[in-house]
A and B are shown apart, each in its own frame.
Chain A
Amino acid sequence: MNFTENMKVTFNKVADHILGSLKSGEAANVNLHAEESLFVRFNGNKVRQNTHVEQRHLSLLLQHEGKTANITFSITGDVTEDIKRADHWLAQARKECDLLPEDPFQVPLKNNGVSDSTFKGKLLNDEEVIAAITKPAVGTDLAGLYCAGPLISANKNSSGQSHWFATENFFMDYSLYLGEKAVKSIYAGTTWNQTDFEANLAQSKNQLRLMDRPKITLKPGAYRAYLAPGAVAEISSMFSWGALGCNSYKTGASAFQKLVNKEKSLSPKLNLIENYSMGLTHRFNSLGELAPEKMELVTGGELKNLLTSTRSAKEYGLEGNAADNYEAPRALEILPGTLKKEDILKELGTGLYLSNLHYINWSDRLNARITGMTRYACFWVENGEIIAPIADLRFDESLYDCLGANLEAITDFQEVDPMVSTYESRSFGGKKIPGMLIRDFKFTL
């Protein structure tokens, strides 16, 4: 049995054992996160570190007499050993429930159905990876991370619900450097195609050649700017950080408080949706609830829906929409507009072409103001022609301005920005994002 097949057997047996061990009045929800990953870190088109990781975690949510305990523990993949561990942690969860106060916003567990999806990929053999990447990149200064392997999320609960989602995927998140100047790209998917990777690399090499001119240092000020999909993806990551969640709004922490309250609006051109039909992640959340396949978040610049978990819905007397506990988008899409790729430089005229942004944070959350830096392939453009790369600039800009009245156009194409986060474990998902033309984008340093 391969890793995925083994985990399916183990999860079903161990989860069923836990659910079958419940006493009268107890309810439980069990989640699995498991991965077998190869990570190869490159610097200077050489290998800095290579690490293989097998890990498996079960999360147990136990409810008893209005109290809730959550315990996550490592498992081994061996059913006998893992049942022992499950028994130990179930006993600990019972102790927690005895000690904790009642949880007034506890969500009763329901049967949200059954799903079972396994997607088999075609990945490089571990031993092939390094040559496949470094050989076509000979002569370049390449730095980055290759990551690949099976990734699993599964859920069962005591009401009979059962979900299984497994995939085999990879990403090569890399940059090419010319001294301090760089371009960035990601090649990701479920089937490694050497020709496609080499084409991706060739495109990056071509882009890097554009940077072989002296950098221009611009003064702070407001500039007309084209934000390529990679730059817009960075900005849209702020929607996940206390902007579109119901709980953050209700506790006064939402950056879109004024949008929700209709004191402010965004551009009528802006449409944000959650779109699980993109297939980048599974629809079930950690309670096994199924999010709507598509849901409007911002339509025509007005807020349509906040992401609302069932727990928040219970607390605030609202309808939930199967958001996960952290109430951030999991399958964000910004809908395209009308600006054609071939017209971007002409429409930009004179200003900045920004491929990527970096290290964004709220500088004034109440007014949805963000600060951050330009990064990688960013150019000064005059009369529709790229003149030179720029020295990095710091921006400080309100989303109500740059995604509001100053948003002039959205491209008619989108790019997928795959999730490449590997903190503690690999993440699912990604976003689908267009480019944007913005006037008076404010740079400060």
Chain B
Amino acid sequence: MLDLQRTLKTLRNDADWVSLRYVTEKTTLRSVRDEKPDRNNITFDQGVMVEVLVQGHFGFAGTSDLTESGIKRAFAKATAMAKSAAAFRVHEFSADHRPVAQGTYRSPVVKPLDAFSAKEISDIFIEATRAMKTSDKIVSRSATTMITETQFYTISSSGSEVDQSFSIVSTDFSATAAEGSETQTRSDSGGLARCLQVGAEIFDRNTILERCQKISSEAVELLSAENCPDEKMDLLLAPDQMTLQVHESIGHPLEYDRILGDERNYAGWSFVKPNDFGNLKYGSNLMNVTFDPTITDAMASYAFDDTGLKATKEFLIKDGVLLRGLGGLESQARLGLPGVANSRSSSWNRAAIDRMANINLEPGNSKLEDMIASVERGVFMLANKSWSIDDYRNKFQFGCEYAKLIENGKLTKTLKNPNYRGTTVQFWNNLKAVSNVRETYGSPFCGKGEPNQVIRVGHTTPYCLFKDVEVFGA
């Protein structure tokens, strides 16, 4: 067994501060297609990230060689590279940017994941794909789960000791219907958008079969549906699309490393400027957005970020006004603005950067049925299937799987190929109703960074109604 505390004590050099982050992660991917096993992959990854502070600059070296000599070699690399980079650093950092942290975190799990065998999952998923065979027009059916068990254990020369364990399950069920040259796919709220920190209790057979039958029927229904009309009208978005809307047009533009330009060569930067905080009317008065890693069972809940900053709920946008951005201690120091505990790394082999974690839209006062009743002509869209937004997170275009026309306060025809586009601030200022109920979704695959990192994000959002949106069909 690796004795990290003992190894840490052996690391002597001219580093002002040292930490070791040991990460183990087991990911099990299981999928069934058309009642037959498709993918059954287990990935077990482990390694240590050595982080040093030398001459006001942090250096990093990750290794999968977990022997004491392997970690010492990584320490020497991190130190040498930090020294050679110190004269060219973007900012002079200190150990204050790595607060002393002590504590543990465990995902809320009712039924442990190892209580559910590969056979049990396969059996349920075979049934699930069978349940999706609701018509001869269904040409493909799939059931997928990604189960992740992760432990991040970090210690530092200043006395930090943080042990965080995460139990994460993402599921995806999908049915494709075809007739002539028309093809339509319906999934269970968008690819792997159903993802939570949970245990095996999530694999409830009856719930899964019920959802599978519904999406399969809707895929067939879409084959004969009318195309979404091309016009400017009211747009009602379900939480499984709001997740993407919040992620792309609030989460990313508020990340401080984008505002600072770290990210601009890869994913881009932001339309938000430092002096917008406290001033910019980001959206209508109904818009209240929080950073909340403390919410129960959401994808990106945790107690400390990877620099040791304690995670707390913070308002980013209140009554439509931009208050605070998404930056960890390093970005806060560089920008001179308050931030949040969101310096996170994807694993042991990457340095922490600003990530959005759980970004949530707070509920409003409207009942969903009243929101629908208030619309003279509009479209209700569900489940994301296409996303694209520019460098500055301004001009976006998103597509959904399924939609209903709203006419004179009632849901009427089913519409296929629904899309909408707009610009961020104008769109959010057109928010005219927010439901009093919320749902939680997320993504296991938020990509960012150089070198690239995939990280987990969560979004809990209500139904939202927007006015004057350009919607169109394919």
Contact = CB atoms under 8 A, between A and B. Distances in A.
Given A43-B261, A174-B265, A358-B268, A96 B118 contact: yes
B64 A51 contact: no
Interface in B47-67: 47, 57-67
A346 interface: no
B70 interface: yes
B431 to A, nearest CB: 19
Contacts of B450: 39, 41, 144-145, 173, 422
B140 A74 contact: no
Contact of B264 (A173, A182, A263): A182
A251 B58 CA distance: 48
Given A40-B85, A49-B58, A74-B45, A253 B390 contact: no
Contacts of B58: 49
Interface in A97-137: 99-105, 126-127, 129-131, 134
A445 B353 CA distance: 31
Chain B, interface size category, equals: 35 or more
B45 A57 contact: yes
Contacts of B413: none
A422 to B, nearest CB: 4
A89 interface: yes
B37 A101 contact: yes
B113 interface: no
B44 A134 contact: no
A423 B37 contact: no
A175 B265 contact: yes
B90 A130 contact: no
Interface in A66-119: 68-78, 81, 89, 92, 96, 99-105
Interface size band for A: 35 or more
A50 to B, nearest CB: 5
A177 interface: yes
Given A39-B451, A258-B181, A396 B397 contact: yes
A70 B47 CA distance: 21
Nearest to B42: A71
B60 A145 contact: no
A361 B244 CA distance: 14
B265 A54 contact: no
A126 B84 contact: yes
A444 interface: yes
Contacts of A56: 64
A50 B82 contact: yes
B397 A421 contact: no
Interface in B372-395: 386-392, 395
A337 to B, nearest CB: 28
B42 A70 contact: yes
Contact of B349 (A40, A55, A360, A421): A55
A68 B41 CA distance: 9
Interface stretch (B72-80, B202-210, B307-315): B72-80
A294 interface: no
Contacts of A147: 451
Given A50-B60, A99-B119, A143-B261, A394 B395 contact: yes
Interface stretch (A201-209, A362-370, A407-415, A434-442): A362-370
Contacts of B41: 70-72
A143 B85 contact: no
A375 B395 CA distance: 13
B84 A130 contact: yes
Quick one: which of A77, A143, A182 has the most chain B CB within 10 A?
Answer: A143
Nearest to B261: A43
A20 to B, nearest CB: 22
A266 B203 CA distance: 45
Contacts of B89: 46-47
A445 B397 contact: yes
A80 B454 CA distance: 32
B419 to A, nearest CB: 6
Contacts of A46: 88-90
Contacts of B392: 392
B245 interface: no
Given A40-B85, A48-B90, A71-B42, A54 B183 contact: no
A95 B82 CA distance: 45
B265 A145 contact: yes
Nearest to B73: A54
Interface in B95-136: 117-119, 122, 126
A17 interface: no
A243 B262 CA distance: 33
B421 A394 contact: yes
Interface string B267-306: 0100000000000000000000000000000000000000
B337 to A, nearest CB: 17
* Interface core residue of A131, A145, A358, A423 (most chain B CB under 10 Å): A423
A44 interface: yes
A230 interface: no
A223 to B, nearest CB: 16
B178 A252 contact: yes
Given A46-B90, A99-B117, A72 B42 contact: yes
A364 B400 CA distance: 10
Contacts of A100: 37, 40, 118-119, 122
B3 interface: no
Contact of B397 (A392, A422, A444): A444
Interface in B323-350: 346-347, 349-350
B90 A44 contact: yes
B359 to A, nearest CB: 19
Contacts of A54: 62-65, 70, 74
Given A363-B419, A394-B421, A43 B262 contact: yes
Nearest to B26: A73
Interface string A173-190: 111010000101000000
A392 B42 contact: no
Given A74-B46, A99-B119, A103-B37, A371 B388 contact: yes
Contacts of B81: 38, 50, 52, 126-127
A261 interface: yes
Contact of A367 (B45, B451, B474): B474
Contact of A253 (B119, B140, B417): B140
Contacts of A258: 181
B36 interface: yes
A1 interface: no
B85 A43 contact: no
A252 B118 contact: no
Nearest to A77: B65
A214 B371 CA distance: 45
B351 interface: yes
Nearest to A35: B349
Contacts of B447: 423
B391 A358 contact: yes
B458 to A, nearest CB: 20
A373 interface: yes
Contacts of A37: 451
Contact of B388 (A50, A69, A252, A372): A372
A174 B266 CA distance: 9
Contact of A105 (B36, B62, B389): B36
Contacts of A144: 265, 450
A251 B139 contact: yes
B47 A72 contact: no
Interface in A396-424: 396, 421-424
Contacts of A49: 58, 60, 351, 353
B420 to A, nearest CB: 11
Given A69-B40, A143-B265, 7 more contacts: A39-B451, A57-B45, A71-B44, A145-B265, A177-B261, A361-B386, A366-B183
18 contacts: A37-B451, A41-B450, A47-B85, A51-B60, A55-B62, A69-B40, A71-B44, A76-B67, A144-B450, A177-B261, A184-B265, A253-B183, A359-B389, A363-B397, A363-B419, A366-B182, A423-B454, A424-B452
Which 5 pairs show the lowest CB-CB distances between chains A and B? Answer: A364-B474, A145-B450, A422-B451, A251-B140, A51-B60
